[in-house]
């Protein structure tokens, strides 16, 4: 039924048993190691797992959890250690990077019917494993959103919120490279400097500047073509007011809380196009995954996309990492090193 290395029965993982604040986050070695249950399953021994803001939404109950214990994590790199007997494209020892729930653990099971993985070269370095365990979720979010949620065009004026954040840094680079004008918003001058280094043309400090006034100045009173707003609740009105007639509002996150319900007629005065997209909706077929993951790899490998990690935390220190992330103390990507 399967081919497997000798695996332990339990493993170290970061998880919750109930919704709540930071104190509900648990780290211990009590979580069972998954077993091959179907002939297309594989088990991966993880090396690095990227941290994403979405974990905070699951922990706080903003996004639903079907089953506890809920092991955090959405992406990782690792080595295949067990394969079901119908798996033909991967073998024990192969290194892969992949998207899946449950990666803040030493071992994760996925099925190869789910195609969201790429094979990594056998001579991948530790640094490669760190990058590829962390690049895909935020990279693909930025890449798919600028192509599908709002197709960014040269000379557009585009508002990028949390421009020095994980997704924000990538959006800033990709939008600038199209020849559009990125108006970066961040809470400190240090973060804005990073956004500038990554290609932003205009900078707005959300702590000290009047954002709407600044946008008016920059766009000669016209407003922006699009806003990529990951902050949600606190910034909805500012984004809406900053858009030009027929502008596109891409609301894709809840860093300050979910956008509160509002009458649709709010969109009418300027004929605004509003989207609330999710990455998974743009990589929902093997063809879409293949197209966008290869495109992202090309951008990274040709150095058109700069990607490095802000900090690598040990798996056991996830609580410190998410306190930093949710406390707005970070920029770019945060990563967990998984104990071997």
Please state, in angstroms and rounded to a whole number, the distance separating the CA atoms of residues 226 and 85. 48
Cβ closest to ligand NDP, residue 78 vs residue 165: 165
Task: Yes or no: say if 257 and 232 are a contact pair by the CB < 8 Å rule.
Answer: yes
- With respect to ligand NDP, which residue has the nearer C-beta, 176 or 254? 254
* Piece in contact with ligand NDP (CB under 6 A), picked from 92-100, 183-191, 236-244, 283-291: 183-191
Residue from 45, 109, 116, 191 in contact with ligand NDP (CB under 6 A): 191
Write the interaction track for ligand NDP spanning residues 35-54; mark x where CB under 6 A is met and - where it is not.
-----------------xxx
Q: Which of residues 276-295 bind ligand NDP (CB under 6 A)?
A: 277-279
Question: Which of residues 252, 307, 313, 318 is near ligand NDP by CB under 6 A?
Answer: 252
CB 173 within 8 A of CB 199: yes
Q: Which of the stretches 20-28, 31-39, 115-123, 159-167 binds ligand NDP when contact is defined by CB under 6 A?
A: 159-167
12 near ligand NDP, judged by CB under 6 A: no
Residue 326 interacting with ligand NDP (CB under 6 A) = yes
Segment interacting with ligand NDP (CB under 6 A) among 79-87, 114-122, 248-256, 316-324: 248-256
Is 309:130 a contact under the CB 8 Å cutoff? yes
CB of 255 to ligand NDP, least distance (A): 4
Q: Does 147 bind ligand NDP (CB under 6 A)?
A: no
- The size of the interface with ligand NDP (CB under 6 A), counted in residues, is 29
Least Å distance, CB 66 to ligand NDP, is 19
173 binds ligand NDP (CB under 6 A): no
> Shortest Cβ distance from residue 227 to ligand NDP (Å)?
13
Q: Is 242 exposed, middle or buried (0-12, 13-18, 19+ CB in 10 A)?
A: buried
Part of the chain binding ligand NDP (CB under 6 A), chosen from 90-98, 115-123, 161-169, 286-294:
161-169
256 part of the interface to ligand NDP, by CB under 6 A: yes
Using CB under 6 A as the binding rule, whether residue 174 contacts ligand NDP is answered as: no
Q: State both tokens at 45.
A: 């021994």
Nearest to 200 by CA among 227, 219, 173, 225: 173
Told to check if 328 binds ligand NDP by CB under 6 A, we report: yes
Judged by CB under 6 A, does residue 73 bind ligand NDP?
no
Instruction: Tell me which of 16, 146, 231, 305 binds ligand NDP, using CB under 6 A.
Output: 231
Residue ranges binding ligand NDP (CB under 6 A): 52-54, 138, 141, 162, 164-168, 186-187, 191, 206, 230-231, 252-256, 277-279, 325-326, 328, 330
């Amino acid at each position: 039924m399967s081919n497997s290395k000798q695996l332990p029965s339990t493993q170290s993982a970061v998880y919750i048993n109930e919704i709540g604040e930071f104190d509900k986050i648990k780290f211990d070695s009590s979580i069972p190691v998954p077993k091959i249950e179907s002939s297309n399953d594989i088990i991966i021994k993880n090396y690095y797992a990227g941290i994403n803001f979405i974990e905070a939404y699951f922990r706080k109950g903003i996004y639903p959890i079907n089953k506890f214990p809920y092991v955090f994590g959405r992406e990782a790199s690792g080595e295949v250690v067990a394969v079901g007997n119908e798996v033909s494209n991967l073998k024990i020892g192969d290194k892969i990077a992949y998207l899946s729930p449950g990666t803040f653990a030493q071992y994760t099971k996925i099925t190869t019917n789910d195609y969201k993985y790429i094979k990594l070269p056998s001579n991948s370095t530790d640094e490669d494993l760190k990058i590829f365990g962390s690049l895909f979720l935020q990279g693909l979010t930025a890449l798919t959103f600028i192509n599908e949620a709002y197709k960014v065009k040269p000379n557009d004026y585009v508002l990028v919120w949390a421009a020095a954040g994980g997704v924000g840094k990538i959006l800033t680079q990709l939008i600038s490279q199209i020849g559009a004008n990125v108006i970066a918003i961040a809470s400190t001058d240090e973060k804005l400097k990073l956004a500038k280094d990554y290609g932003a043309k205009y900078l707005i400090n959300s702590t000290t500047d009047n954002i709407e006034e600044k946008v008016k100045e920059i766009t000669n009173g016209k407003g922006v073509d699009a806003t990529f707003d990951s902050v949600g609740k606190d910034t909805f009105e500012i984004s809406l007011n900053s858009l030009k007639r027929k502008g596109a509002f891409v609301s894709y996150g809840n860093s300050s809380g979910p956008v509160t319900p509002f009458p649709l007629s709010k969109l009418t005065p300027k004929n605004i196009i509003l989207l609330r997209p999710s990455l998974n909706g743009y990589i929902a077929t093997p063809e879409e995954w293949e197209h966008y993951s290869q495109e992202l790899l090309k951008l990274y490998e040709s150095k058109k996309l700069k990607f490095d990690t802000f900090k690598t935390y040990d798996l056991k220190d996830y609580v410190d990492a998410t306190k930093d992330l949710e406390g707005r103390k970070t920029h770019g990507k945060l990563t967990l090193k998984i104990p071997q």
